[in-house]
Amino acid sequence: MSDTPWLLTDQPAPNVTRITLNRPEQFNPLSCDMLSALQQTLDAVAADRTCRVVLLAATGKAFSAGHDLREMRSNPDEAFYRALFAQCSAMMLTIQRMPQPVIALVQGIATAAGCQLVAMCDLALATTHARFAVSGINYGLFCSTPSVGVSRAMGRKQAMEMLLTGDFIDADQAQRRGLINRVVDEQALDTEALALAQKIAAKPAVAVAMGKSLFYRQLEAPIAQAYQDAEATMACNMMDENAQEGFLAFLEKRQPQFNP
Protein backbone atom coordinates (compact mmCIF):
# COMPACT_ATOMS: atom_id res chain seq x y z
CA MET A 1 0.00 0.00 0.00
CA SER A 2 0.98 3.61 -0.43
CA ASP A 3 2.84 5.19 2.48
CA THR A 4 2.67 8.79 1.25
CA PRO A 5 1.58 11.44 3.76
CA TRP A 6 -1.26 12.54 1.47
CA LEU A 7 -2.84 9.10 1.19
CA LEU A 8 -3.44 7.35 4.50
CA THR A 9 -4.65 3.82 5.22
CA ASP A 10 -5.87 2.27 8.44
CA GLN A 11 -8.24 -0.40 9.77
CA PRO A 12 -10.98 1.22 11.88
CA ALA A 13 -12.59 -2.19 12.51
CA PRO A 14 -11.88 -5.83 11.72
CA ASN A 15 -12.20 -6.59 7.98
CA VAL A 16 -12.62 -2.88 7.14
CA THR A 17 -9.92 -0.79 5.44
CA ARG A 18 -10.11 3.00 5.31
CA ILE A 19 -8.28 4.97 2.63
CA THR A 20 -8.09 8.70 3.28
CA LEU A 21 -7.16 11.44 0.81
CA ASN A 22 -4.98 13.80 2.82
CA ARG A 23 -4.03 16.91 0.86
CA PRO A 24 -6.61 19.23 2.43
CA GLU A 25 -4.84 22.49 1.53
CA GLN A 26 -5.04 21.57 -2.17
CA PHE A 27 -8.60 20.15 -1.87
CA ASN A 28 -7.36 16.57 -2.37
CA PRO A 29 -6.66 16.81 -6.11
CA LEU A 30 -6.45 13.70 -8.27
CA SER A 31 -2.95 14.48 -9.51
CA CYS A 32 -0.79 11.92 -11.31
CA ASP A 33 0.93 11.09 -8.04
CA MET A 34 -2.35 10.77 -6.13
CA LEU A 35 -3.81 8.55 -8.83
CA SER A 36 -0.73 6.32 -8.74
CA ALA A 37 -0.91 6.04 -4.97
CA LEU A 38 -4.64 5.28 -5.10
CA GLN A 39 -4.10 2.64 -7.77
CA GLN A 40 -1.34 0.95 -5.78
CA THR A 41 -3.40 1.00 -2.60
CA LEU A 42 -6.61 -0.24 -4.22
CA ASP A 43 -4.73 -3.07 -5.92
CA ALA A 44 -3.24 -4.14 -2.59
CA VAL A 45 -6.58 -3.94 -0.79
CA ALA A 46 -8.35 -5.87 -3.56
CA ALA A 47 -5.89 -8.74 -3.06
CA ASP A 48 -6.27 -8.70 0.74
CA ARG A 49 -8.55 -11.58 1.74
CA THR A 50 -8.96 -10.15 5.25
CA CYS A 51 -10.56 -6.96 3.91
CA ARG A 52 -14.31 -7.17 3.32
CA VAL A 53 -15.26 -3.49 2.88
CA VAL A 54 -13.38 -0.32 1.94
CA LEU A 55 -14.12 3.18 3.24
CA LEU A 56 -12.90 6.03 1.03
CA ALA A 57 -12.64 9.26 3.03
CA ALA A 58 -10.91 12.63 2.86
CA THR A 59 -9.66 15.40 5.13
CA GLY A 60 -10.38 19.11 4.94
CA LYS A 61 -13.14 21.10 3.27
CA ALA A 62 -13.20 19.01 0.09
CA PHE A 63 -13.64 15.33 -0.61
CA SER A 64 -11.85 16.01 -3.90
CA ALA A 65 -11.88 18.93 -6.30
CA GLY A 66 -10.93 16.64 -9.17
CA HIS A 67 -7.82 16.78 -11.32
CA ASP A 68 -4.92 19.04 -10.37
CA LEU A 69 -5.53 22.03 -12.67
CA ARG A 70 -2.07 23.49 -12.02
CA GLU A 71 -0.50 20.21 -13.11
CA MET A 72 -2.70 20.08 -16.20
CA ARG A 73 -1.97 23.70 -17.13
CA SER A 74 1.77 23.09 -16.72
CA ASN A 75 1.68 20.25 -19.23
CA PRO A 76 -0.17 21.52 -22.33
CA ASP A 77 0.42 18.35 -24.31
CA GLU A 78 -2.23 16.00 -25.73
CA ALA A 79 -0.15 12.91 -24.94
CA PHE A 80 0.06 13.99 -21.30
CA TYR A 81 -3.68 14.60 -21.12
CA ARG A 82 -4.49 11.24 -22.70
CA ALA A 83 -2.19 9.45 -20.27
CA LEU A 84 -3.67 11.32 -17.28
CA PHE A 85 -7.27 10.54 -18.19
CA ALA A 86 -6.41 6.91 -18.96
CA GLN A 87 -4.72 6.63 -15.57
CA CYS A 88 -7.78 8.10 -13.86
CA SER A 89 -10.20 5.85 -15.75
CA ALA A 90 -8.17 2.76 -14.81
CA MET A 91 -8.33 3.73 -11.13
CA MET A 92 -12.08 4.37 -11.32
CA LEU A 93 -12.66 0.99 -12.95
CA THR A 94 -10.54 -0.69 -10.26
CA ILE A 95 -13.05 0.53 -7.66
CA GLN A 96 -15.88 -1.11 -9.56
CA ARG A 97 -13.98 -4.31 -10.33
CA MET A 98 -12.46 -5.04 -6.91
CA PRO A 99 -14.34 -7.66 -4.89
CA GLN A 100 -14.95 -5.48 -1.86
CA PRO A 101 -17.72 -2.87 -1.77
CA VAL A 102 -16.33 0.66 -1.57
CA ILE A 103 -18.18 3.30 0.46
CA ALA A 104 -17.43 7.00 -0.09
CA LEU A 105 -17.54 9.30 2.95
CA VAL A 106 -18.15 12.77 1.52
CA GLN A 107 -17.51 15.52 4.06
CA GLY A 108 -17.20 18.50 1.69
CA ILE A 109 -17.26 19.45 -1.96
CA ALA A 110 -16.80 16.83 -4.66
CA THR A 111 -16.29 18.38 -8.07
CA ALA A 112 -15.39 17.15 -11.57
CA ALA A 113 -13.32 13.96 -11.21
CA GLY A 114 -13.99 14.16 -7.47
CA CYS A 115 -17.71 13.86 -8.18
CA GLN A 116 -16.87 11.03 -10.57
CA LEU A 117 -15.03 9.29 -7.73
CA VAL A 118 -18.16 9.44 -5.58
CA ALA A 119 -20.28 8.12 -8.44
CA MET A 120 -17.95 5.17 -9.04
CA CYS A 121 -18.01 4.02 -5.42
CA ASP A 122 -20.59 1.32 -4.70
CA LEU A 123 -22.20 3.32 -1.89
CA ALA A 124 -21.84 6.89 -0.65
CA LEU A 125 -22.71 8.78 2.52
CA ALA A 126 -22.45 12.56 2.69
CA THR A 127 -22.78 15.22 5.34
CA THR A 128 -25.31 18.01 5.14
CA HIS A 129 -22.43 20.33 4.14
CA ALA A 130 -21.39 18.28 1.09
CA ARG A 131 -21.91 19.70 -2.38
CA PHE A 132 -21.41 18.14 -5.79
CA ALA A 133 -20.70 19.48 -9.28
CA VAL A 134 -19.16 18.56 -12.61
CA SER A 135 -18.07 22.08 -13.27
CA GLY A 136 -15.51 21.80 -16.06
CA ILE A 137 -17.92 23.42 -18.50
CA ASN A 138 -17.51 26.69 -16.58
CA TYR A 139 -13.85 26.69 -17.64
CA GLY A 140 -14.33 25.55 -21.23
CA LEU A 141 -14.00 21.81 -20.64
CA PHE A 142 -16.95 19.41 -20.74
CA CYS A 143 -16.45 16.84 -17.97
CA SER A 144 -16.41 13.90 -20.38
CA THR A 145 -14.78 11.24 -18.20
CA PRO A 146 -16.76 12.25 -15.09
CA SER A 147 -19.91 12.00 -17.20
CA VAL A 148 -19.39 8.23 -17.53
CA GLY A 149 -19.69 7.62 -13.80
CA VAL A 150 -22.24 10.34 -13.06
CA SER A 151 -24.61 9.28 -15.86
CA ARG A 152 -24.62 5.72 -14.54
CA ALA A 153 -25.43 6.82 -11.00
CA MET A 154 -28.14 9.37 -11.82
CA GLY A 155 -30.96 9.90 -14.28
CA ARG A 156 -29.74 10.98 -17.71
CA LYS A 157 -31.41 14.37 -17.81
CA GLN A 158 -30.35 15.20 -14.26
CA ALA A 159 -26.77 14.24 -15.07
CA MET A 160 -26.82 16.23 -18.30
CA GLU A 161 -28.11 19.32 -16.51
CA MET A 162 -25.18 19.17 -14.10
CA LEU A 163 -22.73 18.62 -16.97
CA LEU A 164 -24.09 21.47 -19.11
CA THR A 165 -24.50 24.06 -16.36
CA GLY A 166 -21.66 23.22 -13.99
CA ASP A 167 -24.01 24.08 -11.13
CA PHE A 168 -23.60 22.64 -7.65
CA ILE A 169 -26.22 20.44 -6.02
CA ASP A 170 -26.46 19.92 -2.28
CA ALA A 171 -26.46 16.62 -0.42
CA ASP A 172 -30.25 16.33 -0.31
CA GLN A 173 -30.47 16.81 -4.06
CA ALA A 174 -27.66 14.31 -4.59
CA GLN A 175 -29.56 11.74 -2.57
CA ARG A 176 -32.80 12.32 -4.44
CA ARG A 177 -31.00 12.01 -7.77
CA GLY A 178 -29.26 8.76 -6.82
CA LEU A 179 -25.67 10.00 -6.53
CA ILE A 180 -25.44 9.16 -2.81
CA ASN A 181 -27.28 6.84 -0.43
CA ARG A 182 -27.63 8.85 2.76
CA VAL A 183 -27.27 12.35 4.18
CA VAL A 184 -25.97 12.41 7.75
CA ASP A 185 -24.85 14.97 10.31
CA GLU A 186 -21.18 15.83 10.13
CA GLN A 187 -20.50 14.30 13.55
CA ALA A 188 -22.18 11.04 12.55
CA LEU A 189 -20.45 10.43 9.20
CA ASP A 190 -17.71 8.13 10.46
CA THR A 191 -20.00 6.27 12.85
CA GLU A 192 -22.74 5.61 10.29
CA ALA A 193 -20.31 4.66 7.55
CA LEU A 194 -18.50 2.23 9.82
CA ALA A 195 -21.78 0.69 10.97
CA LEU A 196 -22.79 0.18 7.34
CA ALA A 197 -19.37 -1.30 6.52
CA GLN A 198 -19.56 -3.72 9.43
CA LYS A 199 -23.05 -4.83 8.43
CA ILE A 200 -21.76 -5.67 4.95
CA ALA A 201 -18.54 -7.21 6.28
CA ALA A 202 -20.63 -9.68 8.30
CA LYS A 203 -22.08 -11.12 5.10
CA PRO A 204 -20.34 -14.02 3.29
CA ALA A 205 -17.45 -12.63 1.24
CA VAL A 206 -18.07 -14.95 -1.72
CA ALA A 207 -21.69 -13.85 -2.07
CA VAL A 208 -20.77 -10.17 -1.80
CA ALA A 209 -17.95 -10.40 -4.34
CA MET A 210 -19.96 -12.45 -6.83
CA GLY A 211 -22.96 -10.19 -6.40
CA LYS A 212 -21.00 -6.97 -6.88
CA SER A 213 -19.38 -8.26 -10.05
CA LEU A 214 -22.69 -9.49 -11.48
CA PHE A 215 -24.49 -6.26 -10.58
CA TYR A 216 -22.27 -4.12 -12.81
CA ARG A 217 -22.00 -6.66 -15.63
CA GLN A 218 -25.74 -7.06 -16.00
CA LEU A 219 -26.34 -3.29 -16.04
CA GLU A 220 -24.37 -3.03 -19.27
CA ALA A 221 -25.88 -6.14 -20.93
CA PRO A 222 -29.11 -6.71 -22.89
CA ILE A 223 -31.80 -8.03 -20.56
CA ALA A 224 -31.79 -11.62 -21.85
CA GLN A 225 -28.01 -11.83 -21.49
CA ALA A 226 -28.26 -10.21 -18.06
CA TYR A 227 -30.67 -12.91 -16.89
CA GLN A 228 -28.44 -15.68 -18.25
CA ASP A 229 -25.44 -14.23 -16.42
CA ALA A 230 -27.48 -13.83 -13.24
CA GLU A 231 -28.73 -17.43 -13.45
CA ALA A 232 -25.19 -18.78 -13.76
CA THR A 233 -23.90 -16.55 -10.98
CA MET A 234 -26.70 -17.55 -8.62
CA ALA A 235 -26.17 -21.25 -9.32
CA CYS A 236 -22.44 -20.91 -8.60
CA ASN A 237 -23.19 -18.92 -5.47
CA MET A 238 -25.52 -21.70 -4.28
CA MET A 239 -22.59 -24.12 -4.36
CA ASP A 240 -20.75 -22.07 -1.74
CA GLU A 241 -20.85 -23.64 1.73
CA ASN A 242 -22.10 -20.41 3.29
CA ALA A 243 -25.12 -20.34 0.99
CA GLN A 244 -25.91 -23.94 1.91
CA GLU A 245 -25.56 -23.07 5.59
CA GLY A 246 -27.78 -20.00 5.15
CA PHE A 247 -30.59 -22.01 3.61
CA LEU A 248 -30.31 -24.73 6.27
CA ALA A 249 -30.40 -22.09 9.02
CA PHE A 250 -33.53 -20.57 7.48
CA LEU A 251 -35.25 -23.95 7.38
CA GLU A 252 -34.19 -24.69 10.95
CA LYS A 253 -35.28 -21.21 12.12
CA ARG A 254 -31.87 -20.22 13.53
CA GLN A 255 -29.11 -17.71 12.78
CA PRO A 256 -26.62 -18.92 10.14
CA GLN A 257 -23.06 -19.64 11.19
CA PHE A 258 -20.98 -18.43 8.27
CA ASN A 259 -17.34 -19.38 7.75
CA PRO A 260 -14.88 -16.51 7.19
Residue 243 confidence (pLDDT): 87
Domain locations in the chain as residue ranges? 7-201, 205-251
pLDDT score recorded for residue 4: 83
233 three-class SS: helix
pLDDT means per 10 residues, the chain with 260 residues, are 84 97 97 97 97 98 96 93 97 98 98 98 98 96 96 96 98 98 97 98 96 96 94 91 87 89
Say what the pTM is.
0.95
Q: What are phi and psi of 163, to 5 degrees?
A: -70, -35
CA distance 55 to 104: 6
Q: What is the sign of the dihedral through the CA atoms of 40, 43, 45 and 49?
A: negative
Q: What is the pLDDT of residue 187?
A: 96
- The structural architecture, per CATH, of the domain 205-251 is Orthogonal Bundle (1.10)
DSSP designation for 99? S
Class of domain 7-201: alpha beta
Q: Is 242 left (phi over 0), alpha (psi -120 to 50) or beta?
A: alpha
Q: Residue 189 CB: number of other CB atoms within 10 A?
A: 22
Coil/strand/helix, residue 13: strand
Q: CB of 163 within 8 A of CB of 143? A: yes
**Distance separating alpha carbons of residues 142 and 156, to the nearest angstrom:** 16
Q: Where are the alpha helices (DSSP H) in the chain?
A: 32-46, 69-73, 78-97, 113-120, 144-153, 156-165, 171-176, 189-201, 205-219, 223-238, 241-251
